[in-house]
Amino acid sequence: MPGITQVYVRLYHRQELQQTVMLYDQVELGRQRPGEPAPFNYDSRGRRLIIAALDDKLISREQLKIALCSVPHSDGRPQVSITNLSKKRPILVDALGKLEPGATTEVPVNCLISFEDIAVQVESQAVDGWELRTLPHQTLAPVRGGGPVSIGSAQRSIIDVAANDQFTPEQLIRWLSETMEVLQSAAGASDFLMQAVDAVDRIVGFDAIAAVRFEGRKWEVVASKTFGDGRFGDPATLPSNTILQQVLDLKRTVRHLPATSDFNYSLQGVEALVASPILDPDGDAIGAIYGVRCGTLLRHLPQISDLEATMVEVIGCGAAAGIARESEQKKALAARVLFEQFFTPQLASELESDPQMLDGREAEISVLFCDIVRFSAISQRIGSHKTLQWINDVMDRLSVVVLKHDGVVVDYIGDELMAMWGAPKPQADHALKACLAACDLLTCKAEIDIRWLAEVGEPIDFRTGICSGIATVGNIGSSRKFKYGPLGETVNLASRLQGVAKHFGVRQVISNSTAAGLSSSGRILCRPLGTVRVVNMDQPVNVFELCERPSPDFEILATGFSRAIKAIESNDMTFCNQQVEQLKSRFPNDTAVRMLAARLETGDPIEARCIWRFDTK
């Protein structure tokens, strides 16, 4: 049977050994309190060693604290933290000298501490009467996705272990029933660790129980039950680092048991320990359930059976399943909140159930860019603080329109909104939806002006560019910041068409590929503006002005301008001039008409394949 290194605290009074205590975490030494045992007894519940009688005024009630350090000394020996709790009297530490009241130091064992007629020896030795044992089976990790722990496996573990111990059927049935109650309640509660501590108390019973979490490479007690002794009440007080490290390394239930009764000191300081891991779905230990059973004055050696250790493990599995489910639910809720910022609630629900829809792929989509006309001038006039309030309100209202037409809000870039149709879920009518949304964006103007006109000083207006085509869609953000959207030439052209709208003095410009998606709708009228080559793009494209519910005047304008463009394409410049003159007379303020008239008057060559060239965005 392998031995382990154990640290002991030996108490001497007037050079006579009075008590020996195993040091698992910490022990406090002090004068007797009302209701406490007589001097030189060890109160295992309170981790206190009584070193003087109630009426001995030379010794403080809290005189000294000795705590086992988690990190050994540089020479490999265990080391302890020594704190002088006295407010008045120094103590002597042989390795250091005088330790003033309230001071703390760390020293390796073996060391001697002395004050008044008390001496405390802290030493370590290999003890053959102790061993670490693990249960033979691997602790179950919770099912990924928040599924329940395998109850059948848990039951089989209990029954298999019980076969080697003497327990009545009634006891087993009660234990199983109460264990199942914990597993079921863990499915919907948030205080899983406190439930686990209560369950261990009810089902197994220990002198002290704690649930600890392992976070940031540190153990922390988050729930405990120590029958009023405050053993784990202090956040700095932890169960045995040795056994917790075993749990972390082995990911199995571990017991620290006295294997023989051949001890030459009182069994008051002897403890049996059990710790069972709480695992995450990846099988890593994120916490542990920890139980302590103490020896007694009657020299009964404390033991923890295989069945009791298995019960602790099953309860820990129940807590792990609850924690995993709660974590998955929080992640799902966060994903839903994130999705619903950019997608419709229906699509957000579909994405939640089928996240592969967000995988990168090529798709046929329509992309919309919309910005605010004269944004720079307005923001300079009203100041940055008011601009921020205004732009937030505007973008909120524009986003509602996009989602109303089943679109995806991709991004906000300053005063610009980017939206998309056709992904992540395919939409056969993506071009029509994008154009209807663009027209609907203009209806927001009156609503925004009601609230902001007095502060902004002028009515709001928008410019929109839309392009349809093939693009790569997926997460165009990063692993740290999710952003679902498109990349490719279709996106670039949509952005350029927004600038083209400014050149033509119109609100909405769409590409030929988008206009082709409207041919059978009958709901939207488009005015051909001719072929355009935009900045940083080599190939010219046919572009159109978009108008929903056109007026009779717009129909006349669209028809006449279309005839002029077709005349250019057929090289009939005489007919083109006639059409433009008629339009100029009727629509003298139309920018596109005036631009074309100016080209014809100057005699500049006009090529059908590229009527317009814009060198700025």
525 vs 523: which has the higher pLDDT:
525
Torsion of CA 173, 178, 180, 186, to 10 degrees: -170
The 10s digit of each residue's pLDDT in 366-387 is 999 999 999 999 999 999 999 9
Compute the C-alpha angle 140/143/147, nearest 5°.
125
Residue with tokens 């990911």: 251
| Structure tokens given for 287 | 């916490």
Q: What is the pLDDT of residues 441-458, one digit of tens each?
A: 999 999 999 999 999 999
Helices 591-602, 489-504: axis angle to 10 degrees equals: 80
Q: Residue 528: enclosing H or E segment and its boundaries?
A: strand 524-533
Q: Does the pTM of the predicted model rise above 0.75?
A: no
Instruction: Please answer whether residues 615 and 569 qualify as being in contact, where contact means their C-beta atoms are separated by less than 8 angstroms.
Output: no
Spell 255-286 as b/e; 16+ CB within 10 A means b.
Answer: bbbbeeeebeebbbbbbbbbbbbbbbbeeebb
Contact in structure between 129 and 12 (CB atoms under 8 Å):
no
Greater confidence (533 vs 1) lies with 533
Q: How far apart are CA 423 and CA 484, in angstroms?
A: 9
What string of DSSP letters covers 173-232? Answer: HHHHHHHHHHHHHTTT-S-HHHHHHHHHHHHT--SEEEEEEEETTEEEEEEEE-TTS-TT
Mean pLDDT of the chain: 82
Q: Are 525 and 518 in contact (CB under 8 A)?
A: no
The lowest-confidence range among 55-64, 241-250, 257-266, 545-554 is 257-266
Nearest to 6 by CA among 122, 85, 93, 112: 122
Which segment of 142-146, 185-189, 549-553 scores lowest on mean pLDDT? Answer: 185-189
- What does the pLDDT average to over 206-234? 74
Pairing relationship of beta strands 612-613 and 524-533 according to DSSP bridges: parallel
Average pLDDT over residues 191-210: 84
Residue of 321, 318, 325, 293 whose CA lies nearest to 158: 318
d(CA 255, CA 425): 54
Confidence of residue 7 (pLDDT cuts 50, 70, 90): confident
Across 588-605, average pLDDT: 90
Tell me 106's DSSP state.
E
β-bridge partners, 224: 210
Q: Is the pLDDT of residue 95 over 60?
A: yes
CA nearest 532: which of 614, 597, 420? 614
Give buried/exposed letters for 163-178 (b at 16+ CB in 10 A, else e): eeeeeeeeebeebbee
> DSSP assignment of 359-398, as one string?
S-EEEEEEEEEEEETTHHHHHHHH-HHHHHHHHHHHHHHH
Contact (Cβ atoms closer than 8 angstroms) between residue 363 and residue 422: yes
pLDDT in the model for residue 379: 94
For residue 339, the model assigns a pLDDT of 65
All domains of the chain, ordered by start, with CATH?
Answer: 4-127 (2.60.200.20), 130-328 (3.30.450.40), 347-613 (3.30.70.1230)
SS3 content of the chain, % helix, strand, coil (to 5): 35, 30, 35
Higher pLDDT among residues 295 and 167, named by residue: 295
